[in-house]
Structure 1
């Protein structure tokens, strides 16, 4: 009996071990993505720039694992365009990064005026990588939250609605994917549910939004200043034109009155009446001085108009320059070859 009991105990242990091994297999299978990410991240050696970006976007361990497992790389126009050749280029937006073939690719922007654009793009692409790792059920749940948040925000923020119009041709799932990355990196105030969701990857998401606000604010300031100058120029132009027209009429009347005074004087009309001569002459001189003052004022405002217009042209040039900096599709400048 003792042997029988012992055998039965041994069989029980074997069954328990089998169940444990089976359970372990289920757990391992369900977490195979995280396990694969672990080994990919551990075997990836980021460049100094990528390591700096990783530090600056404040990722938690899960976010860091996905970021490194995506083997992020950064490069100039030529290499970036090869990396992201299959990415659709919208007519209104710039392609600054892509998540393709499970890898994060970033376009290097070194212009100090646009500090933060690479960091924001890296976080944006990380969220695409995270979206790709979510289950269908999780995506469906988060998509509903994202769409609800978008509808509320778009109803009150025309700029954000315009921002998202570059994705209007996408399918609903693809649009939700883009919303997921945009909300996570560009919108400061979100619902508690979404904040909790993004906390899966970021220790402090507001830092990423700060990066976005920093470089996006450059364009906002340029636009606001351009609009201010345009409004001032239009008002000044209308004022100058009206005053110039009034001045021309006044000059014509002065010339006619001065010619009449000269004719009357040549006909000796004021002979023996010097006070009248002096009075009319004095009035004409005062009018002439007043007209000269008006002319100088109009000229001064015309000079100011030209100066403001030059400022507006300069702002436009800066805006075009910055847009060129962000345009990854432009050809790299070629080095000049001296003739020998």
Structure 2
């Protein structure tokens, strides 16, 4: 009897052990991505610049693991275009990073006026890396939350809607992927469920948004100042043209009246009426002085118009310069001119 009982106990242990081994296999399979990331991250040696970026964007332990497992690199135009050759550069806007072949690639921007570009881009691409690690069900749930927030923001924020228009040709899943990165790095206030999601990767997401706002403000302020100058120039142009037309008419009338006075005087019409002569002459001199004052005012406003136009041109030059700095594309070589 005891032998039989002992046998049954032994069989039970074997079954429990088999279940434990099977459960261990399921856990290992479920976390295979984390396990892979752990070993890739541990063996990756980031450059000093990448290490600096990693510290600046304040990653959680999970975010840090995925970032390093994505083996991030940063370089100039030549390297970046080689790394991200498959990225479509024809879209409106600048391509500053890519997540290709499970690796994060960044375009280096060294101009101090654009501090934060590399940091924001690194966080943006990290979120692409985290997206591919989500299960299909998790992506579906998150997509609904992201699209709901997008619909709300785009209805009230024209600039945000314009920002996302560069992705309008993408499929809905691909659009949700991009939206996941944009909202997480560029929008300060998000619903609690999205904040909870992003907290998996960042210890303080506001730091990322601060980086984005820092360099984005450079462009918004440039545009605001350019718009202000353009509006002032247009109003001043209309005013100068109207006043100039009135001045020209007044000058024409003055010249006619002065010529008439001269002819009358040459005909001795005022020989017996000096007070009338002095009165008309005085009126003409006052009008002449008034016209000269108007001319000086118009000239001063014309000079101001030219100064404002010069300021606008300088702002345009700065904008072009900054956009050129952010342009990661390599210009196509000029084709040779065929001989006749």
TM-score (norm 1): 0.95
Query: For residue 335 of structure 1, what is the aligned residue in structure 2?
Result: none
Query: For residue 336 of structure 2, what is the aligned residue in structure 1?
Result: none
Residues 209-246 of structure 1: CA deviation (Å, up to 9, x unaligned): 11111111111111111111111001000000000000
Query: Between Structure 1 and Structure 2, how many residues are aligned?
Result: 333
8 A contact 2:81–2:330 mirrored in 1 = no
Query: For residue 73 of structure 2, what is the aligned residue in structure 1?
Result: 73
8 A contact 1:184–1:198 mirrored in 2 = yes
Give the whole-Å Cα distance in 1 for the aligned partners of 2:150 and 2:61: 29
Give the whole-Å Cα distance in 1 for the aligned partners of 2:9 and 2:171: 59
Answer with 262-271 or 47-56: which moved more.
Answer: 262-271
Give the CA deviation at 1:4: 5.1
Query: For residue 263 of structure 1, what is the aligned residue in structure 2?
Result: 263
Query: For residue 32 of structure 2, what is the aligned residue in structure 1?
Result: 32
Structural mapping, 1:1-340, within 5 Å: 5-331=5-331
Give the whole-Å Cα distance in 2 for the aligned partners of 1:242 and 1:19: 92
Residues 45-90 of structure 1: CA deviation (Å, up to 9, x unaligned): 1111111111111110000000000000000000100000001124
Alignment RMSD: 1.5
Instruction: Please state whether the residue corresponding to 2:156 is helix, strand or coil.
Output: coil
8 A contact 2:50–2:72 mirrored in 1 = yes
Give the whole-Å Cα distance in 2 for the aligned partners of 1:93 and 1:243: 43
Instruction: Please state whether the residue corresponding to 1:99 is helix, strand or coil.
Output: strand
Give the whole-Å Cα distance in 2 for the aligned partners of 1:243 and 1:199: 62
Instruction: Please state whether the residue corresponding to 2:202 is helix, strand or coil.
Output: coil
Give the whole-Å Cα distance in 1 for the aligned partners of 2:138 and 2:89: 28
Give the whole-Å Cα distance in 2 for the aligned partners of 1:274 and 1:224: 62
Where does structure 1 differ by over 4 angstroms across 4 or more consecutive aligned residues?
A: 1-8
Answer with 14-23 or 273-282: which moved more.
Answer: 14-23
Give the whole-Å Cα distance in 1 for the aligned partners of 2:144 and 2:8: 54
8 A contact 1:90–1:166 mirrored in 2 = no
Give the whole-Å Cα distance in 2 for the aligned partners of 1:5 and 1:195: 56
Give the CA deviation at 1:21: 1.7
Residues 279-334 of structure 1: CA deviation (Å, up to 9, x unaligned): 111111111110000000000000000110111111111111111111100349xx
Give the whole-Å Cα distance in 2 for the aligned partners of 1:163 and 1:103: 25
Residues 11-65 of structure 1: CA deviation (Å, up to 9, x unaligned): 4333322221221111011100000000000000111111111111111000000
Instruction: Please state whether the residue corresponding to 2:98 is helix, strand or coil.
Output: strand
Q: Which runs of 5+ in 1 are unaligned?
A: 333-340
Instruction: Please state whether the residue corresponding to 2:201 is helix, strand or coil.
Output: coil
Q: Which runs of 5+ in 2 are unaligned?
A: 333-340
Give the whole-Å Cα distance in 1 for the aligned partners of 2:286 and 2:130: 80
Instruction: Please state whether the residue corresponding to 2:106 is helix, strand or coil.
Output: strand
8 A contact 1:77–1:331 mirrored in 2 = no
Give the whole-Å Cα distance in 1 for the aligned partners of 2:91 and 2:262: 69
Give the whole-Å Cα distance in 1 for the aligned partners of 2:89 and 2:176: 18
8 A contact 1:240–1:301 mirrored in 2 = yes
Give the whole-Å Cα distance in 2 for the aligned partners of 1:128 and 1:90: 20
8 A contact 1:70–1:103 mirrored in 2 = yes
Give the whole-Å Cα distance in 2 for the aligned partners of 1:296 and 1:166: 50
Instruction: Please state whether the residue corresponding to 2:265 is helix, strand or coil.
Output: helix
Query: For residue 336 of structure 1, what is the aligned residue in structure 2?
Result: none
